[in-house]
Amino acid sequence: MSIDKLFEIKGRRALVTGAGRGIGKVLALTLAEAGCDVALFGLHSNYLEDVAEQANKFGVRTLILEGDVSKKADVQKAFQAIAKDFGRLDICVNNAGISMQVPVEDMAEADWDRLLDVNMKGVFLCSQEAAKLMKPQKNGSIINIGSISARTVNVPQKQAVYNTTKAGVVMLTQTMAVEWAPYGIRVNSISPGYMKTEMVLSSMSKLFPEWESLTPLNRLGEPEELRGALLYLASDASSYVIGHDLVVDGGYTIR
């Protein structure tokens, strides 16, 4: 394969969960710009419609799928729509996730359940349905969005439950990678460091100086800096890579 074709994914069909805002929006538009038809799965159709409008400018097809990744009925409905409208699925990006900063002793049981449902069960349910479409093809790439929180305890914010869910995502990624390798399905994860998303900018900017001081590059990342990692794992450039957690964190976890 020539170098210019190595990262090419034009014509492939992709799904991005949590595609309406933040990292999910950036990843969805990256796939669209690369020439993929993109299914946009999320809770708020108004955000998804905005992303679809931007993606359509690249001359690709988009599919808006409103639903909750933690609800099996919603997930099955979404993947049935993908099978009907796209005919296949080549790339599945499990990005949807939520975060809470609450000390362990104060965490409500309902919040524990919600974090695990969205961050872990959502990845499980969507990967399960993606594999059902990819196995007959003997090909596919599932990319789960983890976090540096899977491998380090963030400070100063208290988020033990969030960290636990992201560690679970990485282990689930590795285990599914082994199980589905015989079917040509590659499962990997991307673990971002501190990124300047809308949520972080609106609610946690007071922590920026401390986070930056702990990051060797001395700055937070931009969501756009995840584009290269996505294209690598989605394309044939990573054809021999499975179960890998690709950390993009400006060196934070080197410490």
The residues annotated with a catalytic role in the active site are 147, 162, 166
**CA 157 distance to own-chain centroid:** 23
CA 212, CA 214: separation in Å to the nearest integer?
A: 5
Which residue reads 């080549």 in tokens?
90
Across the beta sheet with 13-17, what order do the strands follow? 62-66, 37-42, 13-17, 91-94, 140-145, 185-192, 245-248
Q: How far apart are the first and last CA of the chain?
A: 38
Residue 47 pairs in a beta bridge with none
SS3 189: strand
CA 82, CA 86: separation in Å to the nearest integer?
A: 5
Residues ≥6 apart with Cβ < 8 Å to 72: 125
SS3 252: helix
